[in-house]
């Protein structure tokens, strides 16, 4: 299963990208919060995205969404993020934000379940109506999906699909898990 | 796998329990937020637990933790909770709170990774050091686990274990998932 709709631009495709790390505005946002180890935690990522005004007119990200973002790219299971992963995250998030803004035509800050369902399908996920319904209910408040919840849903869906695909060696849509492995990979998301 | 450490008291075992729904103090908290349908959403649950001062000296629950609580007992996939489930939740939460307070001896509001690990083990979960480490990292902030995160971790671990056990028919610690089913049950938690 491919994810043609992720819309992740090539590295450097974010607004105002420059060659060279020092001039990179993203590097400024990152170093303003990163500790001496050059890594940021979920709390620091939340501060960073808020200071960079990533959400614009939308509500800033919940700390839980920031933890999901860290886990999505956390290859070394450190629960923190270096600058390269931060750039990768920014690109993916920018694609999702663009998509969300295109369906939130009245700029109300929320989208309808049907628009959300179309967005998920357009990302290449083939899900049953039951699974789609279940996801949408989980990420709705009063029948609407906010930008924060939309991103949380996209991050989680991508991470869980990655986990599953790695265990579905025949690529037949079936995977077997040991209990310990199942808990480890689903609890960390 | 049993969960001897859940500490869920028998129904009515919460403080101040009375026979008869009308006199039940929990019923007062519940009806103060429930709509005409007699169900509460995650947002209403958050209001309800805050008004009932469930967390006491601890920080109130994050909306994400309230969604997890709803999903843990959501047998009809409505993403809402009736009074009977609310009573069941209150009992389970009270057990967890008691446990948390017993390990948070200095009432700092947080516990150490090692104490968290012992708490999870004492609930009957048999996990590898890797899985335990991964869980603890995910639910820590600055190396400490808050009450809110402790509850989120307990709820998620219980829900995911339930999901797994239902598919592990031979009870051998191995389960096979179809992709759609995997996404449906892990995304709804």
pLDDT for B20: 52
Residue pair B41/B79 in contact by the 8 Å Cβ criterion: yes
Percent of chain B with pLDDT over 70: 88
Residue B117 has pLDDT above 70, yes or no: yes
In a domain, A13, yes or no: no
Which residue numbers in chain A have pLDDT < 70?
A: 1-22
Task: Return the pLDDT at A8.
Answer: 31
d(CA A119, CA A146): 13
Is B155:A103 a contact under the CB 8 Å cutoff? no
Is residue A77 in a domain? Answer: yes
Distance in angstroms (rounded) separating the CA atoms of residues A48 and A32: 8
In CATH, what number is assigned to the domain containing residue B70?
Answer: 1.10.238.10
Mean pLDDT value across residues B111-126: 92
pLDDT at residue B24, as a whole number: 84
What CA dihedral angle connects B128, B132, B135 and B137, to 10 degrees?
-130
Is A15 within the bounds of a domain?
A: no
Helices and strands in chain A: count of H runs, count of E runs: 8, 3
Contact (CB<8Å) B178/A173: yes
> Does a structural domain hold residue A2?
no
Residue B178 dihedral angles phi and psi, to the nearest 5°: -80, 150
Identify the residue with better confidence: B15 or A43. A43
Average pLDDT score over residue span B116-134: 93
Structural domain count, chain A = 1
Burial B20-49 (b: 16+ CB within 10 A, else e): eeeebebbebbeebbeeeebbbbebbbbbb
CA–CA separation, B74 vs B119, rounded Å?
25
Indicate if the pLDDT at residue B144 is higher than 80. yes
From the number of C-beta atoms within 10 Å of its C-beta (0-12, 13-18, 19+), residue A42 rates as: buried
Coil, helix or strand at residue B3: coil
Residue A91 domain-assigned (yes or no): yes
pLDDT of residue A21: 56
The predicted pLDDT at position B36 comes to: 83
Assigned domain for B15 exists: no
Are the CB atoms for B3 and B126 separated by under 8 Å? Answer: no
Task: Tell whether A11 is covered by a domain.
Answer: no
Average pLDDT on B24-38 reads 89
Q: Which carries the bigger pLDDT value, residue B19 or residue B123? A: B123
The nearest alpha carbon in chain B to A42 belongs to B141
Average pLDDT for B177-187: 96
Mean pLDDT for B28-57 is 91
Q: Which has the closest alpha carbon to B105: B113, B114, B115, B96?
A: B115
Report yes or no on whether pTM surpasses 0.90.
no
Q: Which residues pair with A111 in a beta bridge?
A: A145
Distance between A54 CA and the closest CA of chain B, angstroms: 21
Q: How far is A29 from chain B (nearest CA, A)?
A: 21
The residue of chain A nearest to residue B130, with distances taken between CA atoms, is A184
Range(s) of the domain holding residue B90: 25-188
């Amino acid at each position: 299963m491919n994810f043609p709709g992720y819309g992740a631009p090539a590295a450097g495709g974010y607004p105002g990208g420059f060659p060279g790390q020092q001039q990179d505005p993203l590097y400024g946002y990152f170093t303003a919060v990163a500790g001496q180890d050059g890594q940021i935690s979920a709390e620091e990522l939340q501060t960073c995205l808020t200071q960079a005004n990533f959400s614009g007119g939308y509500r800033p990200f919940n700390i839980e969404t920031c933890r999901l973002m860290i886990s999505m790219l956390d290859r070394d299971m450190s629960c923190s993020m270096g600058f390269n992963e931060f750039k990768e995250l920014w690109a993916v998030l920018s694609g999702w934000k663009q998509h969300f803004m295109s369906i939130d035509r009245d700029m109300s800050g929320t989208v309808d379940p049907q628009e959300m369902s179309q967005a998920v399908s357009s990302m290449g996920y083939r899900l049953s109506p039951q699974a789609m319904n279940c996801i949408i209910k989980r990420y709705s408040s009063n029948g609407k999906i906010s930008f924060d919840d939309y991103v949380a849903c996209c991050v989680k869906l991508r991470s869980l699909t990655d986990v599953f695909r790695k265990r579905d060696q025949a690529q037949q849509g079936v995977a077997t898990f040991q209990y310990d492995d199942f808990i480890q990979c689903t609890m960390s998301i």
